[in-house]
Amino acid sequence: MEGRLELEWIASPALEGNPLGDPSRRPVYLYRPPGERPGLPAVYFLHGFAGSAHSWVNFQPFARTVPERLDALVASGAVPPVVGVFVDGWTALGGSQWLNSSAIGDYRDYLARDVVAFVDRTLRTLPRAEARAVVGKSSGGYGALVMGRHHPDVFAHLGCHAGDAGFEYCYLPDFGKAAAALLGTDAARWLDDMRRRGRETKLRGDDHPVLNVLAMAAAYSPDPTAPAGLGLPFDPETARIREEVWSRWLAEDPVRFVPQSLGSFRRLRSLFLDCGTRDEFQLRWGARMVAASLQAAGIDFVHEEFEDGHRDVAYRYDRSLAYLGPRLSRA
């Protein structure tokens, strides 16, 4: 690399005393470009479900990591010098959707308040929304849209790669699988058993859809009176949809919240969306619906589709960063 990638640690007041007992002191990888100087803009990277800050530096044979891709873009001049911030959002449920939740913790505040303040203070980045971008894939892409909805005053540039959207398509297919796994038990006991298997041997192949449903329930429908503090969106005996809970999920669907938050999205300076035409979670349709809402509102954005699925598509960051990077404000 031409620049440097350094591991630092952030003490987050927002995560102190979180209900899962997850650490409030978090790792963060910082990319520092060649010739770094005070007043640079910053790009914040949000990993997907079951990821962590360390996921960004995992070795992949014959492939560049995202920090290496950012470095190559800066070295080539395609992206003017920027600081890269690779944030950690791992939880005992595998993720948080970058939301505030009484069942998980205040991860939206952690990112928008604690991480940003740490970076501005430590690297002396330009402390303006116009000088910050937030990008991510899958649950990280969803988190980027959450930041656009709630914090256009913090991040004025947004990149969403295959973000969770169109919940009827991406989540409903797993409800029956989760209901079957939970028969005769409850969410708290199932999670304890899954974690034991993970420690002793490994997770089963069919654990992921169940864990995904439980983690999303903790993010979208927390319920302190229910096992594990999460409200299931279906009846545990019949799998019938609980409309009062499912409606809480839908309120957090970008297909719904983007058209209801157009004032926030109009404040953005740049917005990039994409999804693969063969996305295994059918996220293509949610991206198209979000794009249609933005277009109808007259908001300027870029929407792309590419011939690939959901996994191993880090090369798509070359597209979003080349678009967003030159549009970031500079000192």
* Listed residue (167, 137, 144, 160) closest to 48, CA to CA: 137
**CATH number for 260:** 3.40.50.1820
Are both 45 and 144 inside the same structural domain? yes
Same domain for 103 and 66? yes
Task: Write the DSSP assignment of 3-72 as a string of letters.
Answer: SEEEEEEEE-GGGTT-TT---SEEEEEEEE-TT--TT--EEEEE--TT--GGGGG---TT---HHHHHHH
Residues 47 and 134 in one domain: yes
Q: Which of 273, 50, 318 is nearest to 162 (CA)?
A: 273
Check whether residue 196 and residue 122 sit in a common domain.
no
262 and 315 co-located in one domain? yes
- Residue 231 sits in the same domain as residue 292: no
In contact, 137 and 162? CB cutoff 8 Å: yes
237 and 302 co-located in one domain? no
Q: Same structural domain for residues 98 and 227?
A: no
- From 185, 220, 250, the end of a domain falls on 250
**Which pLDDT does position 331 carry in this prediction?**
82
Q: In the chain, helix, strand, coil percent, each to 5?
A: 45, 15, 40
Whether residue 262 sits in one domain with residue 150: yes
Whether 15 and 106 map to the same domain: the answer is yes
* pLDDT the model gives residue 287: 98
Distance, CA of 92 to chain centre: 16
Boundary-marking domain end, from 197, 226, 250: 250
pLDDT of residue 60: 86
Is residue 75 located within the same domain as residue 222? no
Number of structural domains found in the chain: 2
- Which residue range forms the structural domain that includes residue 244? 169-250
Q: Are residues 198 and 287 in the same domain?
A: no
pTM of the model: 0.98
Instruction: Select from 194, 228, 250 the last residue of a domain.
Output: 250
pLDDT per residue as tens, the chain (331 positions): 999 999 999 999 999 999 999 999 999 999 999 999 999 999 999 999 999 999 999 988 999 999 999 999 999 999 999 999 999 999 999 999 999 999 999 999 999 999 999 999 999 999 999 999 999 999 999 999 999 999 999 999 999 999 999 999 999 999 999 999 999 999 999 999 999 999 999 999 999 999 999 999 999 999 999 999 999 999 999 999 999 999 999 999 999 999 999 999 999 999 999 999 999 999 999 999 999 999 999 999 999 999 999 999 999 999 999 999 999 999 8
Q: What residue type is 233 in one-letter code?
A: P
